[in-house]
Structure 1
């Protein structure tokens, strides 16, 4: 009787463990990585919020893959914009056996982390890292659903020279993979058009992504008498730089990329920014007929979090949904099975149709130009 009871108890325990294993198999874990601490934590949290909205939406509707129901679980990690921390959390996600990764946010963390995901065969979509090197390493697991710096730098240079009629251009970058990469592309394209337009680079300086004092480099730039300052870097540096430009009597136009294209810039610049002085570009954009979908997302985001979208939450949202759509089309969440499907995906998201070229870059990447008036970001144009 006692022996029989032990057998019954053992059978119950095994059944419980077996049920737990089956339940674990019903969960799809997808990693998300951004800088949710540090100077650009507000941008990282924006990305994370977008991914979380996608996961909640998927689970509310129910996810069926290959005739089986799954629940999506997001494992959110903070890389603090630090390459070493970025590779550490990448390995952590690999060890956790995630089926895919959305992120990272910065080029400087995305690029080293991508090797770890590639070695593990885990697909990765970055909704924010724009340095071309990311998708040029030969990693078939690396994708991005925004325009890269080649597209961004070329478009900004063209707009600066042709539309803004800038002729004396000073350039500053923060020496990060993102900031330097964008500035290099901008300079290259200004020089290409220089002979025909008369535009030229009159000064080049650099700072860091943690600097707060720009007086020395701005004083040097002032002597070159620029009519436009281009900055490759983030909003946490751009805002204080604008404030110091005003203090030094450099009230010229100021241009940059997606890293400084948030509503934080006017707040950080204080009275150092005039209406219409700043032009920046978001590495994505939608045509007029797609605008309602994006507007609806922004409204839903505000209802959910009580704040407005900063920059790339819609792209993070779309990246998550596109990855799960690839799993559904492949009939499996196994990375080896759905990766080829993801490479050929055509997913209609709130940021437009997501499809990738042979390198993993988004096809037909668009850019949205913005300025700031009354402390608020205002769209200027959608360009290629």
Structure 2
């Protein structure tokens, strides 16, 4: 009997050891959060952002990912903030509770900024693919990054276009009273004044407005050379359309929120009078743009709106940080981020000490027969 016990003990120990070894090498599921408005007037932009992140996750899983000896399967934890700051903070807390390793988002500055404190408090990396208000990265959070230029660069680029190309002497400004729209309009106004342009008026509307005729009628009487509109395409389209109906001749300038493929559906032939900016490289100028466009359209059967290439690269940047940290621990991923030097679809991405791009680019567009056409690329 004693002999049998003596023989069984090493076998049990061996089984136990195999069990622990198997557990150590078990597959690991890692969640990456994504947040954008999937409902409301700019849901098409939110879905475009989500699609870019989803395509990256699917490709990485197909190729296979191993971190610290474990096979890792990525899961995209996609959430809807409806472009609402309050819902954005609720969704941010949900992602923290879901134990995501990092977050791609949010889309809007007005949602990105309030959510950023929640991610910072939890030590979770946040990469916004499209929030351009400078305040986002001026809070001092070590978790906050973005892969686009800021309004401190986008606003001046539009003002320079007004002064140097349009040869404008006067401007009327309208914004949608959001962190993005007002922030962009304010940066434009500062630069316009420094260039000697006369600011005739600066009016505020809101991001749910549909009727701009009262503001536009007032502006028509002011007779500006250009009109600057700070907002998204859901309101910018009707704004441009109603300006055309009221026979305003002034060129309408706007930022990346308006600069979408859907603008022509919202504004009709009034798009011919719009010049807009994008806080990043034009798709046709991106090193991996053409190939990305083929894969995106094949997967989702729809055109790219604006920032899906940026969400795509943001996911790969997160994985690059995980690889360099040799860990999926959120805090170690955050610690690896400052040394990022990633070459992807949008080009080479490196960050300054605030989490902004070291080499930001602004692209300017007009519309021809309802299609975006690249006018110029400005390196800031």
Q: Give me the TM-score of the superposition, normalised by structure 2.
A: 0.92
The Cα offsets for residues 295-336 of structure 1, whole Å up to 9 and x where unpaired, read as: 111121111111110000000000010111110011111111
Alpha-carbon contact 1:229-1:253 (below 8 Å) kept: yes
Aligned to 1:187: 189
Aligned to 1:299: 294
**Alignment size in residue pairs:** 363
Aligned to 2:358: 363
- Shift of the alpha carbon at 1:62? 0.6
Give the SS at the match of 1:337. helix
Give the SS at the match of 1:39. coil
Aligned mates of 1:184, 1:200 — CA distance in 2:
14
Aligned mates of 2:113, 2:293 — CA distance in 1:
29
The Cα offsets for residues 273-312 of structure 1, whole Å up to 9 and x where unpaired, read as: 4x3x211111001698x64511111121111111110000
Alpha-carbon contact 2:102-2:126 (below 8 Å) kept: yes
Alpha-carbon contact 2:240-2:274 (below 8 Å) kept: no
Aligned mates of 1:356, 1:129 — CA distance in 2:
15
Aligned to 1:211: 209
- Shift of the alpha carbon at 1:248? 1.3
Give the SS at the match of 2:222. coil
Q: CA 1:18/1:176 → structure 2, altered by over 3 Å: closer, same or farther?
A: farther
Give the SS at the match of 1:47. helix
Q: CA 1:250/1:81 → structure 2, altered by over 3 Å: closer, same or farther?
A: same
Aligned to 1:106: 108
Aligned to 1:353: 348
Segments ≥4 residues shifted beyond 4 Å: 17-25
Alignment RMSD (CA, Å):
2.0
- How do 1:1-384 and structure 2 match up within 5 A? 26-194=28-196, 199-273=197-271, 275=272, 277-285=273-281, 291-384=286-379
Q: Give me the TM-score of the superposition, normalised by structure 1.
A: 0.91
Give the SS at the match of 1:285. coil
Alpha-carbon contact 1:256-1:281 (below 8 Å) kept: yes
For structure 2, list consecutive stretches of 5 or more residues without a partner in the other structure.
1-15
- Shift of the alpha carbon at 1:36? 0.6
Alpha-carbon contact 1:286-1:366 (below 8 Å) kept: no
Give the SS at the match of 2:320. helix
Give the SS at the match of 1:223. helix
Give the SS at the match of 2:266. helix
Give the SS at the match of 2:299. helix
Alpha-carbon contact 1:167-1:227 (below 8 Å) kept: yes
Aligned mates of 1:112, 1:19 — CA distance in 2:
43
Aligned to 1:7: none
Give the SS at the match of 1:139. coil
Alpha-carbon contact 2:237-2:264 (below 8 Å) kept: yes
Alpha-carbon contact 2:155-2:185 (below 8 Å) kept: yes
